[in-house]
Amino acid sequence: MNIHEYQAKELLAKFGVGIPAGHAALTVDEAVEAAKKLPGPLYVVKAQIHAGGRGKGKFKELGPDAKGGVRLAKSLDDVKHDAEEMLGNTLVTIQTGDAGKQVNRLYVTDGVDIAEEYYLSMLVDRASGRIALIVSTEGGMDIEEVAHSTPEKITTITIDPAEGFMPHHGRAVAFALKLSGDLNKQAQKLSKQLYDAFVALDCEMLEINPLVETKPDSSGAAQLLVLDTKMSFDGNAMFRHPDIEALRDESEEDPAEVEASKYDLAYIKLDGNIGCMVNGAGLAMATMDIIKLNGAFPANFLDVGGGATKEKVTEAFKIILSDPAVEGILVNIFGGIMKCDIIAEGIVAAAKEVNLSVPLVVRLEGTNVEKGKEILETSGLPIVSANDLGDAARKIVAETKKAA
Ligand code: ADP
Ligand code: MG
């Protein structure tokens, strides 16, 4: 699960992390009011979408010379003008795909006098089974390019979960960022605060880009501040964090995926034309692979889970069919806990209820498979039965081509 930048910053602030002051806004008036609460004279108006690359992004509705999704504003009038141009329009960034994302929220924040931009992120590294801290002196909008052409400028530090965050981890971060004196101390403290937040909030990923060093103030003091952050959470842990779950912005998610999550179906939309309904994530992956092997592409990943009921199967059909790209459906279910005859009854009932209009190939295996196949055959519906996974994939690809 993802949240917006301003929400992530509010969460991090509770752990003592330094962030510039700012306020979220849903309307132009709110954006101006938000700016009035800030000291000025430099404000930054930032589009809040669940995608990065906003600074270099372009608005579909505005000309190619218009400014992007992160704008420096030097007056309240500028804030008003920027808010008017951004709200309701579609921002296309390197991470949104060509369709872009509509901007419905803004974050109006203090303009910061930047001396240096650094990069710091944390993620659960499956290879080492640890939380990995990734830092670079080359932060800012071109980090992907740095990772590609000068990977030696990126340092990875992993933390043993049994040991936890130790002072030497903080020193390693500060060293990698080449900081000295007070800034070095700040980096050590900040990395501990971020690690604490990451663990306490069950994060999957936390990215700070840029982490900035401010220009020294009149007393010569500089600060490390989090200027941009992206945060995502382990969905399976969200039952422990109702306050974080409340931050979910469904308008940022695929409508079919939102619908699927209501029924506890693991659904991810893909670009192909063969809808898949499968039980078990491993079987779902294998099904997608074998569809590709036969020259077609899956329209989705869908795991109906172990205890698929008739209601769940019906909802799954509806969700698959809500995708206009779907030209055929392949059901591949292994009846273990669920018996094949029960599943077959569910499929027949669901196919009748949704008025199935595309070819349907069903491969059942497991307990009571003969009874299940008989139910499909005598249903009077044009359901094509398959014997094994290869047979099923060949049949759905052929049926779809025939129907097209
Ligand atoms: P994105 O990564 O989506 O492009 P960022 O928030 O990182 O968005 O903003 C892009 C760039 O804009 C930053 O690298 C930084 O140089 C500048 N910027 C962002 N916020 C501020 C701010 N509060 N003050 C000054 N400059 C900022
Ligand atoms: Mg950024």
pLDDT of residue 309: 75
> How far from each other are the two terminal CA atoms of the chain, in whole angstroms?
37
pLDDT digits (tens, 9 = 90+) for 254-268: 888 888 888 888 899
Location of structure tokens 């669940």: 50
Atom of ligand 1 nearest to the CA of 22: 23
Strands 229-233 and 203-214, bridge-based pairing: antiparallel
Atom of ligand 1 nearest to the CA of 111: 24
Q: Quote the ligand 2 centre to 381 CA distance (angstroms).
A: 53
Considering the domain 21-110 in this protein, what is its CATH number?
A: 3.30.1490.20
pLDDT digits (tens, 9 = 90+) for 367-402: 999 999 999 999 988 899 998 999 999 999 999 998
Please give the average per-residue pLDDT across 134-150, as a whole number.
89
User: Is residue 60 pLDDT above 90, yes or no?
Assistant: yes
User: In the CATH hierarchy, which top-level class contains the domain 114-245?
Assistant: alpha beta
Q: Which helix (H) or strand (E) holds 6?
A: helix 5-13
In the residue annotation, 119 being an active-site residue is answered as yes
User: Is residue 145 pLDDT above 80, yes or no?
Assistant: yes
pLDDT of residue 354: 82
> d(Cα 51, Cα 317) in Å, to the nearest integer?
30
> d(Cα 79, Cα 74) in Å, to the nearest integer?
8
User: Collapsing DSSP states into helix, strand and coil, what is residue 223?
Assistant: coil
Which value, in Å, is the radius of gyration of the alpha carbons in the chain? 26
Which of 42-56, 191-205, 240-254 is the least confident region?
Answer: 240-254
Query: In 10 A of CB 380, how many CB atoms?
Result: 8
Q: Quote the ligand 1 centre to 15 CA distance (angstroms).
A: 22
Please give the average per-residue pLDDT across 206-235, as a whole number.
96
> d(Cα 284, Cα 302) in Å, to the nearest integer?
7
User: Is residue 322 pLDDT above 90, yes or no?
Assistant: no
Query: In 10 A of CB 97, how many CB atoms?
Result: 10
Going by alpha carbons, the residue nearest to atom 6 of ligand 1 is 228
User: Is residue 163 pLDDT above 80, yes or no?
Assistant: yes
Q: Are 275 and 260 in contact (CB under 8 A)?
A: no
Please give the average per-residue pLDDT across 233-261, as a whole number.
91
Please check whether the domain covering 254-403 is classified as CATH 3.40.50.12280.
Answer: no
Domains 21-110 and 114-245 share a fold: no
pLDDT of residue 147: 85
In the residue annotation, 207 being an active-site residue is answered as yes
Query: In 10 A of CB 127, how many CB atoms?
Result: 7
What's the token pair of residue 97? 């795909």
> d(Cα 118, Cα 110) in Å, to the nearest integer?
19
pLDDT tier for residue 141 given thresholds of 50, 70 and 90: confident
- pTM, to two decimals: 0.82
pLDDT of residue 143: 83
Please give the average per-residue pLDDT across 1-29, as a whole number.
97
pLDDT of residue 210: 96
Q: Are 56 and 141 in contact (CB under 8 A)?
A: yes
pLDDT of residue 98: 87
Please give the average per-residue pLDDT across 71-88, as a whole number.
97
Mean pLDDT, rounded, of the chain:
93
Q: Which of 184-198, 329-343, 358-372 has the highest mean pLDDT?
A: 184-198
> d(Cα 68, Cα 87) in Å, to the nearest integer?
12
What's the token pair of residue 106? 């803004």
* Cα distances (angstroms) measured from residue 87 to each of 10, 29, 83: 22, 11, 6
pLDDT tier for residue 190 given thresholds of 50, 70 and 90: very high
Going by alpha carbons, the residue nearest to atom 11 of ligand 1 is 55
132: exposed, middle or buried (C-beta count within 10 Å: 0-12, 13-18, 19+)? middle
Which of 99-103, 307-311, 313-317, 334-338 is the least confident region?
Answer: 307-311
What's the token pair of residue 231? 């945060």
Q: Quote the ligand 1 centre to 227 CA distance (angstroms).
A: 6
Please give the average per-residue pLDDT across 84-88, as a whole number.
97
Please give the average per-residue pLDDT across 231-249, as a whole number.
94
pLDDT digits (tens, 9 = 90+) for 289-320: 999 999 999 999 999 887 777 788 888 888 99
pLDDT of residue 299: 95
* Cα distances (angstroms) measured from residue 149 to each of 6, 53, 145, 178: 31, 19, 6, 20
Percent of the chain with pLDDT over 70: 100
Angle at the Cα of 239 from the Cα atoms of 19 and 164, rounded to 5 degrees: 55
pLDDT of residue 194: 98
**Any bridge partners for residue 225, and if so which?**
212
**Which residue out of 227, 230, 231 has the highest number of ligand 1 atoms within 8 Å of its CB and is therefore the one to mutate?**
227
Instruction: Give the domain ranges of the chain.
Output: 21-110, 114-245, 254-403
Q: Are 373 and 363 in contact (CB under 8 A)?
A: no
User: Among 119, 195, 252, 327, which one carries the catalytic annotation?
Assistant: 119
Ligand 1 pocket residues where CB is under 6 Å: 20, 44, 46, 52-55, 70, 109-112, 114, 117, 140-141, 209-210, 227-228
Q: Quote the ligand 2 centre to 218 CA distance (angstroms).
A: 28
Location of structure tokens 């849903």: 26
Q: What is the DSSP letter of 168?
A: H
Percent of the chain with pLDDT over 90: 75
pLDDT of residue 198: 98
